[in-house]
């Protein structure tokens, strides 16, 4: 037999789960916004490799023209060669691209879970003792 406390426990548990999932979606969305622009990292690495023979010495940054004729300032590590700096940009590009895919996948999963949790909450019948017991067991 279910009691009012079981119903309260289930409703509170569902509300907590929904709140947690919403916070997770918010955090993942913020993480997506803070990831570096992967196309920018790839462009910088490509430009450095393209113009490597024309850049002499070690610099803190270089100004290079992109393929549309815009000047682009590229920060460099003075301890590394131009090619090593280009490889660093490609490394960051691949790492950010993987990170972006992972965060996007987690965001999609969290949104699906939220939809299911909201559907469960909407369909919850506090007067059905079997449903209350089953949901309490699940939570």
DSSP the chain: ---HHHHHHHHHHHHHHHHHHHHHHHHHHHHHHHS--HHHHHHHHHHHHHTGGG--S--SEEEEE-TTS-EEEEE--TTS-HHHHHHHHHHHHHHHHHHHHHHHHHHHHHHHHHHHHHHHHHH--TT-HHHHHHHHHH-
pLDDT for 2 equals: 53
Q: What is the mean pLDDT of residues 68-89?
A: 93
Domains of the chain are 4-138 (1.10.287)
Does residue 56 surpass a pLDDT of 80? yes
pLDDT for 24 equals: 97
Separation CA 64–CA 89 (nearest Å): 15
The reported pTM is 0.75
Separation CA 45–CA 91 (nearest Å): 9
> How confident is the model over 86-135, as pLDDT tens digits?
999 999 999 999 999 999 999 999 999 999 999 988 888 888 888 888 88
> How confident is the model over 9-33, as pLDDT tens digits?
888 989 999 999 999 999 999 999 8
């Amino acid at each position: 037999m279910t009691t009012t406390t079981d119903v309260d426990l289930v409703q509170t548990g569902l509300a907590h789960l929904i709140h947690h999932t919403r916070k997770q979606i918010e955090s993942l969305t913020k993480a997506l916004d803070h990831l570096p622009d992967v196309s920018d990292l790839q462009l910088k690495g490509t430009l450095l490799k393209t113009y490597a023979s024309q850049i002499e010495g070690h610099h803190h940054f270089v100004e290079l023209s992109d393929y549309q004729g815009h000047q682009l300032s590229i920060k460099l590590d003075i301890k590394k060669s131009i090619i090593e700096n280009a490889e660093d940009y490609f490394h960051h590009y691949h790492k950010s691209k993987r990170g972006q895919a992972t965060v996007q996948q987690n965001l999609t999963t969290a949104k699906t879970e939220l939809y299911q949790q909201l559907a469960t909450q909407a369909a919850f019948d506090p007067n059905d003792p079997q449903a209350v017991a089953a949901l309490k067991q699940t939570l």
